[in-house]
Amino acid sequence: MSVFTCLVVALVLDAMLGEPRWLWSRVPHPAVVMGRAVSVLDQHWNTGAARRAKGVAAVAVLCIGAWIIGTLLGALGGMISALIVAVLVAQRSLMDHVDAVATALRVSLGDGRRAVAQIVGRDTAPMNRADISRAAIESAAENFSDGVIAPIFWFLVAGVPGIVLYKVVNTADSMIGYRTERHRDFGWAAARLDDVLNWIPARLTALFIAALGGGLRSWSQITAEAQLHRSPNAGWPEAALARALGVALAGPRSYDGALRDYPFVNPVGVHQIGPNEIDAATRMLWRVWGAVLLAALFCALVL
C-alpha cells in the first residue's frame, strides 16, 4: 500500500469514526500514552539546576522513542499504518468539538461558555456571544493546522515515524511549552521544536484556506497579520480563515483574570458574530480537508 493510499484510507476512517468512545474507554489513546510519558519526564527531570538542558534531553528521549516505535509500527504493513494515521489525525473530533460550541450557543450564553471552555485556555466567564464565536473559530483554525495538516505533512515526509514524532512533540508543547515559572526553562526545547515542525504546515494551511476561500488576493494582508500574532505559526491559519469568512478574529481576551489587549485579525471584518459564523468556519475547514483527500486520491491513482 502506497503512502498516498494509506492517507486516503486514514482520512476516510477518521471522518467516519472520529474518536470512538467504545474503543478509547477500554484502551488508552496514543495521545494519552504520550502525555503520560511527558508527565513522567516533567515530574522526575524538571528539578534542580540546568533545567533547560534537562528539557532538551527530555525532548530527545521522546523523539528517539517516538521514532523507534513509529518505525516498528510502520513495519507492520500498510493497513496498520493507515489505522495509526487515522488515530493521529484529528479532523472529525476537532469539527465535532467546534460544532458543539455553535449548538450550545444557540441554546444559551451559559451553554456556549461551557462548550467553548472545552477547547480554549482563556477565561470564558466574561465572554459574550461574539467572544465565544471568535474563540471557537480561532481554535478551529489553529488546531486544524497542528491537528490535521501538520500530522498529514509529516506522515508524507517521513512515514509513520514522522507522524508519531510530530505528535509526541506537539503533545509535549501543549503540556510543558508554557512560559510559566515551572516550565519556562524545562519546556523551552519542546516549544521551540514544535514551532519548527509547524512552520511549513501552518503556512500551507493558510494557503489552502486562502485558495479555497477566495482570499489569495489578500495574501499580503494575511501575511502581515499573521506576523503580528504572538505565535510564529498560529496566526497564519487564523488570518486566512478570518479573511475567508469576512470576520474579525483575535482581539482582547482574558487569561487568569488578566486582560490581554491583543490586536484584531482582519479588523475590517464583521465583529458581531455568532454560531452561523462558527458553522461557516467548520464548512470551510471541511472543504480544505476534502481538497487534501482528493489530492491524496489523485496521487494514489497516478503515482
- Over residues 8-34, the pLDDT tens digits come to 999 999 999 999 888 888 999 999 999
| Single-letter residue type at 144 | F
Structural domain boundaries, residue 48: 3-302
Backbone angles phi, psi at 47, to 5 degrees: -145, 160
Per-residue model confidence (pLDDT) at position 229: 87
Percent of the chain with pLDDT over 70: 100
pTM over the 0.85 mark: yes
Task: Count CB-CB contacts under 10 A for residue 102.
Answer: 24
Section 199-226 average pLDDT: 95
Look at the block and give the residue holding cell 477565561.
123
DSSP code per residue over 49-96? S-HHHHHHHHHHHHHHHHHHHHHHHHTT-HHHHHHHHHHH--HHHHHH
**Cα dihedral: 146, 149, 151, 153 (round 10):** -130
Average pLDDT of every residue of the chain: 95
Q: How many independent structural domains does the chain possess?
A: 1
Q: Does residue 73 surpass a pLDDT of 90?
A: yes
